[in-house]
């Protein structure tokens, strides 16, 4: 990789980290995108592999969120029932 590309990636990653720490989310995402764009132009074959595997990652994330939602609903249900409902569920 050429020196100027390394400098752009390093600067973008550093700026992105500072923006995220200062809770400036849009600026952080934008500067992280610049770093990713430079890396994608340098290593297109690696990013093609990542692009092909993204649907699997999204599917796993959606399953995790669904499971978390079900657990949250169950906890809320137990909280409404009081202590007896929790004991009945655990002892069955």
Give 9-40 pLDDT, tens digit per residue: 999 999 999 999 999 999 999 999 999 999 99
Q: Is residue 7 part of a domain?
A: yes
What pTM, to 2 d.p., does this model score? 0.56
The residue range of the domain holding 28 is: 1-42
Is the domain of 86 the same as that of 58? yes
Is the domain of 1 the same as that of 37? yes
- Measured between alpha carbons, how far is 57 from 72 in angstroms, rounded to an integer? 22
Q: Is residue 25 part of a domain?
A: yes
What is the number of structural domains in the chain? Answer: 2
- Does 90 have pLDDT greater than 90? no
Task: Please give the pLDDT value at position 18.
Answer: 97
- Does 78 have pLDDT greater than 90? no
Is the domain of 3 the same as that of 38? yes
Task: Please give the pLDDT value at position 86.
Answer: 64
């Amino acid at each position: 990789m050429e020196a100027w590309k390394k400098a752009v990636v390093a600067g973008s990653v550093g700026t992105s980290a500072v923006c995220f720490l200062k809770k400036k989310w849009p600026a952080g995402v934008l500067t992280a995108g610049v770093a990713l764009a430079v890396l994608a132009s340098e290593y297109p074959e690696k990013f093609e592999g990542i692009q092909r595997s993204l649907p699997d990652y999204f599917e796993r994330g959606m399953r995790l969120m669904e499971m978390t939602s079900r657990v949250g609903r169950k906890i809320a249900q137990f909280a409404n029932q009081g202590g007896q409902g929790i004991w009945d569920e655990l002892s069955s």
